[in-house]
Amino acid sequence: MFQEILKKKLRLCLILDDGPSSLSIPEQVILAIKNGISTIILKHKCREPDKLIPIEHAVNICKTNHILFIVSDDILLAKSISADGIILEKTGPSIPLIKSLLGEHVIIGKTIRLPNDSKQAISNLYDFFLSGPFFKTPNENYLTLLKTVLKKTSLPVVCFGRITDANYKQCIEQGAAGICIDHYITRSGTPQVPAEKIRLAIGSDARDLLTPWQDEFDLIEKLLLSSKSINCQSALVIPPGDDASLLSSLARPTITTDTQREGVHFRKEWQTYEEIGEKAVSVTLSDLAASFATPVAVFVNLSLTETISEDAVKTIYKGMAAALDRYGCALGGGNVSRAKELSLDLFAIGESYSTVYPARTQALPGEGIYISGPVGKARAGLFSLMRNDPDFPELIHAFKHPVARFDAARILFENQIKCVMDISDGLLGDITHIARASGVTVELDLSQASFSEQFFAFSKKYNQIPEKMALQGGEDYELMFTCRPETFDQIKKKLPEAFKAGHVKEFMGTSVIQPFPDIFSFQHGKNSIDTLSP
């Protein structure tokens, strides 16, 4: 979860030194990363244009190596260099204003220098606290401030100010999440002895420096080499590597496309690169499952930021490869380009095994509406991630690892189901597509839906109605279908988790009749799911 990841990042922080005798800021950052620093803090205010370029260079180095770069008390600088966070030294702009300027996901810290400061400063609106400075005089009770702060918050607290290898243990023993040190690297490029002892004692490992991808052709060659380990290449007469791939002849080719974009579909704070690649394949192929098609090949266009490392791209492909192997699908090829945000645009080709295409237009009055499995879990998992709540691993797993229901599709095909679609935008939104396409009215009823213990626990914790969550829930990728009740009885024997969600009527002037008229499903460009309504 976010707080646990943040605690690890804050375990050992470095305040950059911009003095005349110090190394350049990029040099300090490079050496600090190699020597185990996981967060960089820029304490001075930088106004001179000649300093901005090296700072931007340092930020890019940090982004490539997944190191936090945090600016102290300078919102404009933080915005101009796209810093990961800001530390507020004094009372300043409100948290909502800061987030409107720097983005909703900016990390916000607060410096607390005196015990009395903590009375008004402690707030869960922040993400962490920087407490100090300690050890101003030999007689100072330097733990008083730390104890005071720790009593008032469960958020990470980092200590700073003349911390040495002789006294850092006292801070950690009291419960500090991390230590912030000055001047870690000497002019010669070697770690200072006291700071190095702290690093070793804390257990912050030295690491190799990651560099951003540079050579498009070299990267593509390496990705193609790794893709050869993917099974099911028999579908490709000419594999990736030429201008285009040649597929085996397909009797009924079925084609779909999907996009996974950073900040819209995923966040790197929540998902690993491998999970991002795996999910991108699963959600794209889900459309083929709903179309009664066997997956044949996937093509991917990668849009890469200038700071993403080659290792990260390979890890994305590792996740894609795992999903492709699971579904028996080949990688047909793709493209690589530079972009401001990471995104994966996938294009999938399958072969239909049915002479009748299962379409949204085929819902008939008198039929029931059925779902192949539980819905709403992915939405609850997303909200758990948004709230840094680790209590619901089953729901978080549902969001991170959706499954394309090719197994359920085969059963529906065997029972001659003619109206099918996968649930990606939420049950309510997707059933509306069916109702409008078929010219019917659907009446929703989730009284027969079953929910897991974690889903009930989540709903209780956040004062939610489970049926409401299920109606709105997106990214479930279960299959929704319509059929006669007697047909569903046969399907239920092979899909025990399937349930009835309503029934289809002649058109009554409205497409959907639902038990909660005040809710709606997610739509790109219309709304974002950033709050839970009661």
373 and 300 both lie in a single domain: no
283 and 183 both lie in a single domain: no
The answer to whether the Cα torsion of 58, 63, 65, 67 is positive or negative is: positive
377 and 501 both lie in a single domain: yes
Give, in order, the Cα–Cα distances in Å from 510 to each of 370, 387, 473, 506, 507: 20, 36, 22, 10, 7
The answer to whether residue 69 sits within a structural domain is: yes
Q: Which residue has the tokens 């409401």?
A: 468
428 and 315 both lie in a single domain: no
Q: How confident is the model at residue 229 (pLDDT cuts 50, 70, 90)?
A: very low
365 and 263 both lie in a single domain: no
25-34 vs 49-64: helix axis angle to the nearest 10?
Answer: 20
Cβ distance 335 to 244 under 8 Å? Answer: no
The yes-or-no verdict on residue 530 having pLDDT over 50 is no
Cα 215 from chain centre: 27
The answer to whether residue 419 sits within a structural domain is: yes
The answer to whether residue 427 sits within a structural domain is: yes
Which residue segment(s) compose the domain that 460 sits in?
A: 360-513
Exposure class string for 466-485: b at 16+ Cβ within 10 A, else e? bbbbbbbbbbbbbbbbbbee
| Number of domains the chain contains | 3
Rounded to whole angstroms, the Cα distance separating 464 from 106 reads 28
Q: What pLDDT shows up at residue 123?
A: 72
Give SS3 for 336: strand
The yes-or-no verdict on residue 493 having pLDDT over 80 is yes
Q: What pLDDT shows up at residue 498?
A: 97
344 and 373 both lie in a single domain: no
72 and 160 both lie in a single domain: yes
Q: Residues 246-280: pLDDT tens digits? A: 888 889 999 999 999 998 888 888 899 999 999 99
Two tokens at 450?
């079953």
Domain end point (choices 352, 377, 394): 352
Domain end point (choices 325, 352, 379): 352
* CATH code, domain carrying 398: 3.90.650.10
Q: Residues 380-408: pLDDT tens digits? A: 999 999 888 889 999 999 999 999 999 99
Closest CA to 90 of 105, 109, 104, 65: 109
82 and 185 both lie in a single domain: yes
**Which of 22-26, 120-124, 157-161, 281-285 has the least mean pLDDT?**
120-124
400 and 343 both lie in a single domain: no
Cβ distance 89 to 71 under 8 Å? Answer: no
Q: What pLDDT shows up at residue 190?
A: 67
The answer to whether residue 34 sits within a structural domain is: yes
Q: What pLDDT shows up at residue 119?
A: 61
Q: Residues 84-122: pLDDT tens digits? A: 999 988 767 788 888 888 888 899 998 887 666 666 567
The yes-or-no verdict on residue 222 having pLDDT over 70 is no
The yes-or-no verdict on residue 418 having pLDDT over 60 is yes
Q: Residues 38-53: pLDDT tens digits? A: 899 988 666 566 778 8
Give, in order, the Cα–Cα distances in Å from 242 to each of 25, 245, 248, 353: 44, 7, 16, 29
**Which of 102-116, 266-280, 433-447, 451-465 has the least mean pLDDT?**
102-116
Does 252 or 241 have the greater pLDDT score?
Answer: 252
* CATH code, domain carrying 172: 3.20.20.70
Q: How confident is the model at residue 518 (pLDDT cuts 50, 70, 90)?
A: confident
What is the chain's alpha carbon radius of gyration, rounded to the nearest angstrom? Answer: 27
The DSSP code for 203 is T
The answer to whether residue 530 sits within a structural domain is: no
Give the mean model confidence (pLDDT) for residues 497-507: 96
| DSSP sequence for 152-194 | H--S-EEEESS--TTTHHHHHHHT-SEEEEE--B-TTSPBPHH
Two tokens at 397?
């797993």
* CATH code, domain carrying 260: 3.30.1330.10
190 and 262 both lie in a single domain: no
Q: Which residue has the tokens 């980092």?
A: 158
The answer to whether residue 75 sits within a structural domain is: yes
Average confidence score pLDDT of the chain? 85
Question: Can you list the alpha helix ranges (DSSP code H) found in 424-516?
Answer: 427-438, 453-461, 466-472, 485-494
365 and 347 both lie in a single domain: no
Q: What pLDDT shows up at residue 85?
A: 92
Pairing verdict, β 68-72 and 85-88: parallel
The yes-or-no verdict on residue 1 having pLDDT over 60 is no
Q: What pLDDT shows up at residue 529?
A: 45
Does 261 or 1 have the greater pLDDT score?
Answer: 261
The answer to whether the Cα torsion of 231, 237, 238, 240 is positive or negative is: negative
The yes-or-no verdict on residue 303 having pLDDT over 70 is yes
337 and 405 both lie in a single domain: no
Question: Can you list the alpha helix ranges (DSSP code H) found in 185-329?
Answer: 193-202, 216-227, 273-290, 310-327
Q: Residues 168-214: pLDDT tens digits? A: 788 888 888 888 887 776 666 666 766 777 777 777 777 788 888 77
The DSSP code for 309 is B
